Amino acid sequence: MLEQPPSPPLSVVIAARNEADRLPALLAQLATAPALIREVLVVDGESSDATARVATLAGATVLRTSAGRGHQFACGAARVLSPWLLLLHADTRLPPGWALALERAIAAGGRHRCAWYFELAIAAPDPALRLVELAVRLRSRWWQRPYGDQGLLLPLDLYRAIGGIRPLPLMEDLELVERLNRRARLCSLRLALRVDGRRWRRRGVWQTTLTNLALRRAWRRGVPAEELAARYYGGPVVQGAYQKAQRRS
C-alpha cells in the first residue's frame, strides 16, 4: 500500500477589514506554496467592501466576525487544522524566498522551542521610514518585541499553551508576544515583510511614531486597551465593537 503524503504543516490566518484592493496579491503569493500551506483563513472584520468575496474567489476560507484584529485572530486560530500557525495582516506582501524561510523555520522549530517573525519594510519612499525600520529591527532582536505587522509563525501547541491571542481592541500583538517570550525564543526569519505605508503617509512619520510610543507607554502603565483604542481610532466606535466581541467570545 502506498503511503499517503504528509499534510502541509501550516495554517495561515489573515485579519482583514476593507482590504479588497490589497488582499488578492497576498492570497496569490500564498497560493504558490501548496506543499507548505494546508489552509488560508481570512477573518473579515465587518468589511463594507468586497473583502470577503475576493477571499472566497481566491480559495480562502472566510470567517466573519466583529472588527478588531485581536478578536479576528482569535476567531481564526480557533479553527485551524495544521500544527503550525502563521498570523498575517491583510495589507502585507511576502518577500522573495518566503516559503523556503518558513519551511526551514518549521524544521528548526521541531527541535527548538521557537517562534518566528519577519523583519519590517514599509512601502513608502520617505527616508525617515528607513530609520523606523531599523528601530523595529533592533527592538525585535534586543527586546524580543516584534509586533503584528511583522507576522508571527509559531507551533499551534505553543500558541494554545500560552492562552492564545486575546480579543483586545488594541495592543493585542504586544500583549501576545510578551506572554510568548516567557515560553519561547522569538527569532527573525531574516526576510522583510512589506506593509502598506498609507498610515504613515496619512499621519506623518514622526507623528505616527510618537503616537505609537505614547500608546505603548500608556499600555504598560495599565491604561485599558479599550481606552487606547478610542484614542487611536478617534472615538468610542471601536470600544463598542470590542464589547460586542467580548459578548460573542
Residues 84-105 pLDDT 10s: 999 999 999 999 999 999 999 9
What is the chain's length?
A: 249
State pLDDT tens for residues 171-200.
999 999 999 999 999 999 999 999 998 888
Can you give the residue range of the structural domain that contains 158? 10-198
| The model's pTM | 0.90
181 part of a folded domain: yes
Residue 110 one-letter amino acid = G
Label residue 4 by pLDDT band (50, 70, 90). Answer: low
235 has a pLDDT exceeding 70:
no
Q: What is the pLDDT of residue 246?
A: 36
Query: Across-strand partners of 40?
Result: 12
53 part of a folded domain: yes
Helix axes 69-77, 172-180, angle to 10 degrees: 50
211 part of a folded domain: no
CA 73/CA 43 separation, integer angstroms: 7
3-state helix/strand/coil string of 28-53: HHHCCCCCCEEEEEEEEECCCCCHHH
223 part of a folded domain: no
226 part of a folded domain: no
State pLDDT tens for residues 144-163.
999 999 999 999 999 999 99
243 part of a folded domain: no
State pLDDT tens for residues 47-62.
999 999 999 999 999 9
Helix axes 237-248, 225-233, angle to 10 degrees: 140
CA 83/CA 7 separation, integer angstroms: 10
Number of domains the chain is built from: 1
36 has a pLDDT exceeding 50:
yes
232 part of a folded domain: no
225 part of a folded domain: no
CATH number of the domain bearing residue 156: 3.90.550.10
